[in-house]
Structure 1
Amino acid sequence: MPAPRSEPSPLRGPLLAGLGAACAFIVLAGALSVFAGGEPAPAGAAADIAARPDPVILAEAEPEVDAPAAPFDDGPVEDVTLPGVADTEAALTAPPAPERPAAPRAPLPGLYEDGPGGPLPVIGADGQRPDAAYARAHSQRTGPVVALIVGGLGMSERLTLEAIETLPPEVTLSFAPYARDLQGWIDRARAAGHEVLIELPMEPFDYPNNDPGPHTLLAEAGAAENERRLTWLLSRAAGYTGVINYQGARLGASQAPLARVLARLEARGLTVFHDGAGRRPVIEAAGREAGARLVLADRVIDSDPGRDAVEQRLLELEALALQNGAALGSGFAYPVTVEAARAWAEGLSRRGYVLAPASHVAKLRHAQTRET
């Protein structure tokens, strides 16, 4: 007796039709690949592609703590880590810049000499200073002037690109001297219209537990040793209009050694910016002793890195500019700082203020000093 026939499943037809369509697609794709001169794709290629993860986005790595270095032992540059920044090869190399109007190529002829790491800035035979040659041109609009320096750049690709590409070109950018391809980053920032500073690591009170990195300028180092360190730092790249401190509370409290450093910077035609943290009277006295073009910031805008606090410091800069004619702020390239500064700058002109590069505030204050 023949076995009873089972009823066909209601899903069997659609499944067979779908399987047939998939087979036809694979055969057709293989044929097209061969026709185009390539090899047929493996049978599991579509599934493999679908299973691949999304592209990895570089994350900010937690910094490693280096062991304290022996006195005056600078160590290899590649080993340096700084607080709050990534330290990976991908994050330290500047990506290719998009096509933009080029800034004058640095170094400019007659404004450099050979140094241990590259070109060292010098005052030209005709008296031209690097700080003037590399400064961003500023319009002569009238109104209270506000300038902003955003620093800590070059050590994180994501943060550096965000600062270069989203902040107005009038915002001055400062770069850590330890960044790999530092010249590439500076070239990219200048191509986007920003003027640039180099950060000088200076000794804090808790050094070496808090180590700003190799070639830190020290209060107890001799003049020749600090000169050697300064020469290395300044020769890391070209095209910057001046320098700004990175930390440095202890050196900033030591007038004589600080004055010697400032005198060397003045001799090379560089403006010295300082974030203003620390003993301002000592820093100002060292600047006068050295005859340096020294400019102290009026506010560190992200000493409290909360969004509300940063916005409050930016408003204080406006009040100081209204009161004194000009004001200068400094900050670090935290995401909150960059975003708050970008949003704040958008409405400045409507409120009657003029956003200017830091070099313009330096020029105004230098002129006031000469008049008094």
Structure 2
Amino acid sequence: MPRRVTPPPPLGRPGQKGPKRAPTRRRKGARISLTRTQLAGVIGLTAIVALLGAYVLGNRHPHKPAVATVPTQSGPGKTGPRPPGAPPAPPPEQHAEQHAEAPAMPAPAVPPKAEALRTEAPRTEAPKAEPGKGAAWRRNAVPSPQMAAPAPGAAHARIVLVIDDLGVDRPRSTRAVALPGPVTTAWLPYAHDLADQTRAARAAGHELIVHVPMEPVGKADPGPGALTVNLGDEEIQRRLETDLASFDGYVGINNHMGSRFTADEGKLSIVLAELSRRGLMFLDSRTTPDTKGPELAARYHLPLVSRDVFLDDDQSPKAVQAMLAKVEEVARRHGTAVAIGHPHDVTLTALEHWLPTLAAKGFVLVPLTAVIAPPPGGT
């Protein structure tokens, strides 16, 4: 017999029961169940939406970055979009008012070693002085007076008078400046009001030198800032620069004391090399027979003058008069005599009477620079 096939039940009708099917829509209030994978996807999508929102808000900010432009051919001052690969455009020029009002920017710091390499010129072992027209000692020199006619039977000779230790004792320094000139005045660099004192001396027709304190043999005190043999080379250089900055208008220096320092070739060479570099001269007071001044001056092509007579080691009137007579003797014999005295009352009184007699004896008083001979190797 043929097998009987039961047909599927017809679709449900209103009021008719049929097989249950999954609803195509979720009813309101139904619970949502998500797997872990679905939950991760929802979180990722939320993050992407948040990032897109921030990007949109950022592009809406009023301070947008400027677009680089290059000049176009459409006219002066016109700009257009920069083509790909074009070099960066130069910064726009500022107006003069902006430059004037803008605060100055500090210069970039340079390491000390690099700064020294950039600014310091290499030092030579024997720097040559500038004995020509541009030398400082020539620029600051006092004009030498005309040679006076010699008296009958007298030599025609020049005398240089140097007064040391000026500046500290103001009344006696003023008295020394009042001497008939030209007198060479040597000023201690640690004295006060040197600018005013030296200006007055210069106005009176006197030449100026710096009386640099240097270490003596023994226990005598040369004063503050003295150059001593136990100092390093850099400290000697620093102290010398301080002394040379105490006033201006000078032609060179001489040593205050210094019997130990001027006998030390290594230390004295630092001083004379700097004088040579600045175009100055050195008056060697010759406080020791062992001075290295002359040989170092020749090495550095430095103008040098040496002292012949000290006037007042003995401060009695008779001794000072004897030394003035010796000055005349040296001048007659050699044609030139260099005398050094100090602002002691006995010395100043003797000079006030002696200086007016020189012309009648056939001598002429000249500034220190008038007796500078061309240094070896110079012109």
Task: Tell me which interval the TM-score lies in, with the shorter structure as reference length.
Answer: 0.5 to 0.7
Per-residue deviation, 1:162: 0.8
Per-residue deviation, 1:176: 1.0
In 1, the alpha carbon distance for the partners of 2:244 and 2:286 equals 21
Superposed CA deviations along residues 108-155 of structure 1, whole A, max 9, x for unmatched, are xxxxxxxxxxxxxxx99x961221111110123162001110111111
Per-residue deviation, 1:238: 0.6
1:40-119 alignment, distance < 5 Å: none
Higher-helix-fraction structure? 1
Aligned with 1:259: secondary structure? helix
Establish whether residue 188 from structure 1 lines up as the match of residue 231 from structure 2.
Answer: no
Structure ID, larger Rg:
2
Question: Structure 1 residues 290 and 348, CA, compared in 2 at 3 Å: closer, same or farther?
Answer: same
Equivalent residue, structure 2, for 1:137: 143
Establish whether residue 159 from structure 1 lines up as the match of residue 172 from structure 2.
Answer: yes
Question: Structure 1 residues 181 and 371, CA, compared in 2 at 3 Å: closer, same or farther?
Answer: closer
Q: Which runs of 5+ in 2 are unaligned?
A: 1-128, 149-155
Establish whether residue 262 from structure 1 lines up as the match of residue 262 from structure 2.
Answer: no
Equivalent residue, structure 2, for 1:22: none
Question: Structure 1 residues 283 and 371, CA, compared in 2 at 3 Å: closer, same or farther?
Answer: closer
Amino acid at match of 2:230: E
Does the CA-based 8 Å contact 1:275-1:299 persist in structure 2?
A: no
Equivalent residue, structure 2, for 1:324: 334
Amino acid at match of 1:248: G
In 2, the alpha carbon distance for the partners of 1:262 and 1:225 equals 15
Per-residue deviation, 1:280: 4.7
Equivalent residue, structure 2, for 1:366: 374
Per-residue deviation, 1:279: 2.1
Aligned with 1:366: secondary structure? coil
Question: Structure 1 residues 127 and 356, CA, compared in 2 at 3 Å: closer, same or farther?
Answer: closer
- Structure number with higher relative contact order (C-alpha < 8 Å, ≥ 6 residues apart): 2
Q: Displaced runs of 4+ in structure 1, greater than 6 A?
A: none
1:1-372 alignment, distance < 5 Å: 128-141=134-147, 143-165=156-178, 167-206=179-218, 209-280=219-290, 282-361=292-371, 363=372, 365-366=373-374
**How many residues end up aligned between the 2 structures?**
243
Amino acid at match of 1:236: S
Amino acid at match of 1:292: L
Does the CA-based 8 Å contact 1:169-1:192 persist in structure 2?
A: yes
Per-residue deviation, 1:370: 6.4
Q: Identity rate of aligned residues, in percent? A: 31
Aligned with 1:220: secondary structure? coil
Amino acid at match of 2:173: T
Taking structure 1 as the reference length, the TM-score comes to: 0.62
In 2, the alpha carbon distance for the partners of 1:360 and 1:210 equals 33
Per-residue deviation, 1:371: 9.6
Q: Which runs of 5+ in 1 are unaligned?
A: 1-122
